[in-house]
Amino acid sequence: MSPAPTAQPWNRKHLLDLQSLGAEDLTLILDTARSFKAINERAIKRVPPLRGKTVINLFVEPSTRTRISFELAAMRLSADVINFSAEASSLKKGETLRDTVRNLESLNADVIILRHSASGAPHYLARFARAHIINAGDGAHEHPTQGLLDAFTIREHKGRIAGLNVTILGDILFSRVARSNIWALLKLGANVTLCGPPTLVPKVFEQMGCRVTWNLEEALRDADVVNLLRIQHERQRVTMFPSLGEYTALFGLNQARMKWVKPDALIMHPGPINRGVEIEGHIADGPQSVILEQVTNGLAVRMAVLFLVTGGRADEAG
Ligand code: NCD
């Protein structure tokens, strides 16, 4: 396997967000992930870099893909992995997150992967933790590995990210996936358009450097990539639009609207999909969809992140 380029070594203890990473850091992770993707295609998929290390999946919010993906990524790198379920833990008995983490560190946890409903929770842990902290989604703030796996998938298909038109459609306001995608894509040179109902796609996002439009045809017509997002009901304290039916009628991706989408545009979604709401099922399963490839690539990206934060050198990946 060809070694990944080492323009700049990784020198961060944690992965908390993509906002604070530069284009070189992002490219280093994507290049390292490419080496790990090749490993995942081998008959024997386990490699030794994290042998003897303990990785704890601390998920205080529901997750299917991200938790399983991190668990498998750590196992493929030969780490010992503990899955911590908030429901069955002392967090339910009033223990603070800080005390829980200090107890985990007393067991010599090397890496703590945190998913939490509070924005900034992983940044808070990073202030006192000895372990490496990886953000697996904090409230509506960021979901860095999702932003990375989406960038990886786009780059793999299109050969580049710079100059591409990427449309993110749906609940932008409450979506951590949207924020991590926006940071990664803008730093890597893409043009990012945001679309959805005005209450969920406020003009303030223009300050990040995105185009905001509430006109679906305009958002879809020149897109090389269309990334669809679920309505984040669990984060909306007030109703942001009249009904789900109205959302689907105005912004759902259906067959008629696929006429506005370029035939070679990628259709993406971080999952979980709400079929028939933000996307019709046959489009999710159709030839332009790369939704399941995103899941495959997520494993390689998470292996790369675990490898780099624990001191792995990109040119030694694989
Ligand atoms: C997303 C999340 O949890 O932020 N899912 C994921 O990690 N793939 C998106 C969502 O829940 O809508």
CATH number assigned to the domain covering 23-142+297-316: 3.40.50.1370
**Predicted pLDDT of residue 180:** 98
Please answer whether residues 275 and 130 qualify as being in contact, where contact means their C-beta atoms are separated by less than 8 angstroms. no
Decide whether 23-142+297-316 matches 144-295 in CATH topology: yes
229 Cα nearest atom in ligand 1: 12
| Cis upstream peptide for 272 (omega within 30°) | yes
| Cα(130)–Cα(56) distance, integer angstroms | 13
Cα 176 from chain centre: 8
Pocket test for ligand 1, best of 142, 168, 169, 177 (most atoms within 8 A of CB): 177
**Predicted pLDDT of residue 7:** 56
- CATH domain 144-295 topology: Rossmann fold (3.40.50)
| Residue spans per domain, the chain | 23-142+297-316, 144-295
Residue with tokens 């042998």: 51
**Predicted pLDDT of residue 242:** 79
Q: What is the DSSP string of 130-163?
A: SSEEEEEEETTTB-HHHHHHHHHHHHHHHS--TT
| Cα(316)–Cα(8) distance, integer angstroms | 14
**Predicted pLDDT of residue 1:** 44
What letter does residue 38 receive in the DSSP assignment?
Answer: H
Q: What is the DSSP string of 190-242?
A: -EEEEES-TTTS-GGGGGGT-EEES-HHHHHHT-SEEEE----GGG-SS--SS
- 132-138 and 165-169 strand pairing: unpaired
Longest CA–CA separation in the chain, Å: 57
Q: How many residues does the chain have?
A: 318
What's the CA-to-centroid distance between 106 and ligand 1, angstroms? 31
Percent of the chain at pLDDT above 90?
86
137 Cα nearest atom in ligand 1: 4
**Predicted pLDDT of residue 237:** 73
Low-confidence ranges of the chain (pLDDT < 50): 1-6
User: Residue-wise over 177-213: b if at least 16 C-beta within 10 A, else e?
Assistant: bbbbbbbbbbbbebbbbbbbbeebbeeebeeeebebe
Which two three-digit tokens encode residue 1?
A: 């396997």
Pocket of ligand 1 (CB under 6 A): 65-66, 137, 143, 146, 176-177, 230, 270-271
Task: Give strand pairing partners of 133.
Answer: 112
SS3 273: coil
What's the CA-to-centroid distance between 237 and ligand 1, angstroms? 18
Among protein residues, the one whose CA lies closest to atom 11 of ligand 1: 272
